[in-house]
Structure 1
């Protein structure tokens, strides 16, 4: 004798709740996916135009030393990103002291993780044409910028170790890359930086570099080199140090004894 078992009756309310739950989960998943996709696309595009100069407002100027300053420029919205990959730079347009147009390349020290703004560190030379433009810039004024311009696009982990040689404002493209590497927990690249300047006060971004060296001792080491030396101490020490410095190639006019 065969016995047929019938399926238990389905509660319409339970079925409706299950359907609603599935729909909500699907909607949330779709929202997260589309939001991430939109964000990735926006980061890729950014606020720059490689063919046309766009104006960005100077919102903060911080003097670093006698001839260098840090310039912060606002992006269109508080959530905008510049859209510059590590290894790329921008071109800035300004006017020299004779009123003639001048265009120079610069590398921001900020990354796409810095939203709403980007920053430049600029050394203003006495006879520099673009230096004149930055020296005269005041908060509230605008800078014409075009980019990104490819130098090379760094890929995380593409080298086991990097050696960097920088002097003066040549630090800015290095700093951009240092940040990109050290702020990415998946990038295990080690960095050795040799940074040369005339005097101690000429060292740019030293506080930030020292912080990186302290926080990432196994991945980042920096050595500062000065072309002008100040020394102070007892006569025996000064005499001994002078001899050592002379052997290293530091001439008398490059040394000063208090």
Structure 2
């Protein structure tokens, strides 16, 4: 970080003048300040700010020291952006996730509840009685700390169904040579996506050679029980525009996201028994529902008693995504079972072989009844085949576009 030199910084009329430059000893007794500038690698957003650290006399009894930040973000019309106490040093080199959280203070809630009252206090005091300005700063710092600490504990849903929003990529974990889990930060640590169980989100990107932005749908493998971020499991395909774009995305860069969307909204005990057929990355919406059901079991304080039976088809053993997590869930829950199917099974394989057949469905999934459901998700050829197979087995015919109450529902 580099010290920021502002024009006129030594003039008495500058309300952001560092206390250390003041001749008022009481000011130094209350707070310390420093003017800084930080350019965060990968985030492409240089940030200038004044850090005012409150000393013991200005602190609320029993609270730890905090730093009062006045953020100035470059824009066509630079203005006072935010006043808030950060967790430690607010700007760290290449710390894009923290930068994303920091920038979230520009929300309407922060402006109306913190920035405006604090600014009025500071400006009014400076105009009326400049010698009391250091005390006003300390008071504003205490007010901001209390206001933001009390409001920061509540979860806020951030998804917008009509507009795409940018979310910062903060982590990428490779699962295999062409599969990775991408973690995107939400604006605040307490934020949640606000995605109903069974629904998904849309990702948009400008792809060279395409006249219009490309949009694809994905189901996060994280849930609203995990605040501050969301995770996407994505397989990169040679011709996959969005999957290739994600694969090339660097930490600190952003992805446009909109949602929620989809016809399915899972509710506890909507069916006595649910059969699932998934292929490849089609496991993601299934896992979302499976985890929600198990999390809401009576033993966990919920009321969901739905039985779940999953057939999970893949080509090779290495293609079985999230197998460890699935096996652990099955081991912990006696109402959840998995049957793996492989095109190229290894020696000694005891699961299914080849394509998912009618016999596998009859043996492993619930028989047709008014209180059961069959969920499908996978490659289009697989879904087409499974719709025909389930109809031949006596399940209700699946429509071209699935609706919430369909007996056979394709994501």
Which one of 335, 341, 345 corresponds to residue 229 of structure 1?
345
Which one of 258, 262, 269 corresponds to residue 157 of structure 1?
269
Q: So what's the TM-score if we normalise by structure 2?
A: 0.45
User: Which residue pairs with 2:219 in the alignment?
Assistant: 107
Which one of 252, 260, 264 corresponds to residue 140 of structure 1?
252
SS at match of 1:231: coil
SS at match of 1:145: strand
1:51-92 deviation line (CA, Å, top 9, x unaligned): 000011111100001111001111111111110010111000
Unaligned runs of 5+ in 2: 1-149, 298-302, 358-411
Which one of 307, 318, 329 corresponds to residue 190 of structure 1?
307
1:67 aligns with 2:168: no
Alignment of 1:183-222 (within 5 A): 183-185=295-297, 186-216=303-333, 218-222=334-338
Q: Which structure is higher in RCO with an 8 Å CA cutoff and minimum separation 6?
A: 1
Structure 2 CA distance, aligned partners of 1:211 and 1:95?
A: 39
1:176 aligns with 2:288: yes
Q: CA RMSD in A?
A: 2.4
Q: So what's the TM-score if we normalise by structure 1?
A: 0.71
State the number of aligned residues. Answer: 197
Structure 1 CA distance, aligned partners of 2:180 and 2:257?
A: 18
Structure 2 CA distance, aligned partners of 1:97 and 1:172?
A: 28
Runs of 4+ in 1 over 6 A off after TM superposition: none
Further displaced range: 156-165 or 88-97: 88-97
1:2-56 deviation line (CA, Å, top 9, x unaligned): xxxxxxxxxxxxxxxxxxxxxxxxxxxxxxxxx9xx95xx56xx10100000011
- Relative to structure 1, the CA distance from residue 227 to residue 96 in structure 2 (aligned partners, 3 Å threshold; closer, same or farther) is farther
Alignment of 1:243-258 (within 5 A): none
User: Which residue pairs with 1:96 in the alignment?
Assistant: 207
Structure 2 CA distance, aligned partners of 1:201 and 1:96?
A: 30
Alignment of 1:72-87 (within 5 A): 72-87=183-198
Contact 1:91 1:103 in 2 (8 A): yes
